[in-house]
Amino acid sequence: MTSGEGPEPHDVRSSLGRNLTHGMLDALGRAIVTGVYTDKRFPTEADLASQHGVSRSVTREAVKMLTAKGLLSARPRQGTIVQPAESWNLFDADVLGWLLERKFSLGLLRHFSELRIAIEPAAAELAARNAGAGGLIAIRAGYARMVAAEAGEDDSLDADIAFHVAILRAAGNPFFAQFEDVVTTALRSSIRFTNRFKGRSADLAAHGAVLRAIEARDGLAAQHAMQQIIADVLALILAREHDDT
């Protein structure tokens, strides 16, 4: 390849990994969600195949998968069109992962937190009532990891996620467990915000209050303690949004 030229097709193709269809899915999905195609016409299947050095069948399958996720739509005489964010399946694990790669947005973080405060306090209340021995062990293990993280012996974000996910699972309701990807993504996004503006991540004492309430089978206390954790973050977000206006 000479200077000034774009990458050869086989070079682009190798960047997609061994599974070309999922590589195309990831590359195109990330580009759409991060705004690469904002105010631009989405390429045709032939153009995409040429750009990425893959067959049109690979491109076609990736486009079908993105359409199923709400990112694209095909319209007669208009071709394939990027859909507005309101149409995306925001509970899809891939879409959530791509959202993390967008430019940081207080608005998105507020939306995550508003959803969390509607879901997680109720999950904590259910966990206090329904958690079995395994569920309690997992919640305690998540909290123990948070304690270890405070001493620099574990990753603070992974530990925080483990605690919250354990509560969703311990609620005993499969619909709550389906929010695991959303809560994980929200925490990965909010940790950067709280570290930047608050100088720390999770409040260990507040999380300990949730654990103790669940262990005591006190649903109302568990609900209130979890609500307070998320409300504190939401209040900080709203304050920053107000300052930025």
pLDDT digits (tens, 9 = 90+) for 70-85: 999 988 878 899 999 9
User: Pairing relation of β-strands 79-82 and 72-75?
Assistant: antiparallel
**CA distances (Å), 130 to each of 38, 117, 126, 166, 170, in order?**
46, 20, 6, 13, 7
Instruction: Give the chain's mean pLDDT.
Output: 89
- Cβ neighbours of 151 (radius 10 Å): 7
For the whole model, what pTM was predicted?
A: 0.82
pLDDT for res 3: 44
**CA distances (Å), 204 to each of 9, 23, 116, 145, in order?**
51, 39, 18, 11
**Which residues, including other chains, have CB under 8 Å from residue 43's CB and lie 6 or more apart?**
51
**CA distances (Å), 87 to each of 67, 78, 175, in order?**
10, 18, 22
What's the CA gap between 190 and 104, in Å, rounded? Answer: 10
Q: Please give the structure tokens belonging to residue 102.
A: 């967008």
Of 2-6, 17-21, 229-233, which one has max mean pLDDT? Answer: 229-233
Q: Which domains does the chain have, with CATH numbers?
A: 9-87 (1.10.10.10), 105-244 (1.20.120.530)
pLDDT digits (tens, 9 = 90+) for 112-130: 999 999 999 999 999 999 9
Query: Which secondary structure element, helix H or strand E, spans residue 75, and what is its range?
Result: strand 72-75
Residue 4 has pLDDT above 70, yes or no: no
Give the three-class secondary structure for 12. helix
